[in-house]
């Protein structure tokens, strides 16, 4: 079995198109998309239209949920930017997406952790910043999950992590390679390059081979879109893979998560 895993597109249409083009060479049995499809100052409606036309298995991320369960006034800047582009059929599609999915026995999809879309599964946030989670933290988050393969997103960082009971794969972000957040403490997420990310998994003799892919695309065009839409922080993150620090611009890329 061969699977492609995508997460955190954030309305970056050219990045998604690069991933889909790359998939033509690999012909996976299924494409699993872990959420945060649209939020951001890019191409939310066009991204939604493309995703809705594909035979992928999609779940809902925290920003997808916030687009349908918050008032416009209560949304952060990134959600507001996407919301302003979307039509009723886009919201109807988001509403139908499940928060998690057991795609087949032993394979579990979540955006953050199995219990919530607002926490990282394999990272912890401390006053000093974000770091790889301790094994006991991961075990606690998976205490009620029996799957042997856990696919998660949310942190935008490509990772393959083992726990005593499961292999955990975060494919990284297809569309946004850096951001700043302030919850529960200020931290920065950075991959260090602007490439679109996703993961390929292949099961052989009951074991999973994981390949993290980093793809070139026209990130300068995507960054220009963000700049024209008033988000220099997004433009910098998309073009470089690094976040602008708060002292450089007083606006966070992803609004603080509640």
CATH number of the domain encompassing residue 198: 3.60.21.10
Domain containing residue 90: 2-100+172-240
Using a pLDDT cut of 70, give the percent of the chain over it.
95
Q: Please give the Cα distance from 128 to 178 (Å, whole number).
A: 17
76-118, pLDDT tens digit by residue?
A: 999 999 999 999 999 999 999 999 999 999 999 999 999 999 9
- 214 in a domain, yes or no? yes
* Tokens found for residue 60: 């809902």
Q: How many domains does the chain have?
A: 1
Judge whether 220 lies within some domain. Answer: yes
Is position 161 within any domain?
no
Indicate whether 64 belongs to any domain.
Answer: yes
What's residue 245's pLDDT? 79
Q: What is the mean pLDDT of residues 198-218?
A: 97
Q: How confident is the model at residue 226 (pLDDT cuts 50, 70, 90)?
A: very high
Q: Is residue 29 part of a domain?
A: yes
Indicate whether 106 belongs to any domain.
no
33 HSE (CA, 13 A, CB side): 27
* Residue 251 predicted with pLDDT over 90: no
In the predicted model, is pLDDT for residue 250 greater than 90?
A: no
């Amino acid at each position: 079995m061969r699977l492609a895993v995508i997460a955190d597109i954030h309305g970056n249409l050219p990045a998604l198109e690069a991933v889909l083009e790359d998939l033509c060479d690999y012909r996976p049995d299924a494409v699993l998309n872990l959420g945060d499809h649209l939020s951001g100052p890019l191409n939310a409606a066009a991204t939604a239209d493309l995703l809705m036309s594909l035979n992928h298995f999609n779940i809902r991320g925290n920003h997808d949920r916030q687009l349908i369960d918050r008032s416009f006034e209560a949304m952060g800047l990134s959600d507001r930017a996407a919301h302003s582009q979307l039509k009723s059929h886009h919201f109807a599609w988001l509403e139908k997406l499940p928060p998690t999915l057991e795609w087949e026995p032993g394979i579990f999809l979540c955006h953050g952790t199995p219990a919530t879309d607002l926490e990282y599964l394999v990272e912890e946030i401390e006053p000093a910043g974000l770091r790889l989670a301790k094994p006991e933290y991961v075990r606690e988050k998976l205490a009620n999950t029996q799957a042997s393969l856990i696919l998660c997103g949310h942190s935008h960082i490509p990772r393959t992590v083992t726990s005593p009971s499961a292999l955990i794969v975060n494919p990284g972000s297809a569309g946004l390679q850096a951001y700043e957040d302030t919850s529960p403490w200020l931290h920065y997420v950075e991959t260090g390059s602007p490439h679109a990310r996703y993961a390929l998994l292949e099961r052989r003799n009951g074991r999973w081979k994981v390949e993290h892919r980093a793809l070139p695309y026209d990130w300068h065009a995507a960054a220009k879109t963000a700049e024209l839409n008033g988000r220099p922080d997004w433009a910098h993150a998309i073009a470089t893979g690094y976040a602008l620090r708060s002292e450089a611009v007083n606006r966070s890329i992803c609004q603080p998560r509640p």
